[in-house]
Amino acid sequence: MSWQPHITVATVVERDGTFLFVEEFKAGQHVFNQPAGHLEANETLAQAALRETLEETAWDVELTGVVGIYLYTAPSNGVTYQRICFAARPLRHHPDRALDSDIVRAVWLSRDELLAAPDRWRSELVPRCLDDYLAGPLHSLALLRD
C-alpha cells in the first residue's frame, strides 16, 4: 500500500474584522472552510492559493504572508493533507463570476460566528488557521522557494 499525502493551500482573508469563508456541501451537510484546494501541476503554492480563492469566492486577493504549514489526517477517510495556509487582503470582487460547482456561496463571518457553529466546520483546521492568523506571527512569503 502506498501512502501519499495531498498538498493543499488555504487562504485567510480579512476585511473589517470579518473573514472570507466558503460554504460547501460535503458529506450531506453544509460546512464552512477557508478558500482552499489542491496544488495543481506546474503551479507554485502562491499561485494555487490565488487561483483557489478566486475560483471559490470570486475575490482577487493579495497574499501578505504565510500563517502556517499543517499536517492533518482526516478521521473520516484516513487521508493525510499538508496544508499551507496563507494570509491575504481582498482586492476586488467579481460578483458576476460563477463559483466552483461544489461551492454553495462565499460568506464573510466574524470569528465568533464561525466558533458558534462547530458542527459546520469542514475540519478542525478551519478555526485553527484563523486563530493562528490572529495570534501571529505571519511568516514572510520569502519562506517559500519555488
- Beta 6-15 vs 80-93: how paired, if at all? parallel
Q: How far apart are CA 144 and CA 111, in angstroms?
A: 28
Question: In the structure, what pLDDT confidence band is assigned to residue 28 with cuts at 50, 70 and 90?
Answer: confident
The DSSP call for residue 137 is P
Q: How far apart are CA 119 and CA 141, in angstroms?
A: 32
74: Cα within 13 Å, side-chain hemisphere: 13
Over the stretch 107-139, which tens digit does the pLDDT of each residue have? 999 999 999 999 999 999 999 999 999 999 999
Sketch out the chain's domains with CATH numbers: 6-140 (3.90.79.10)
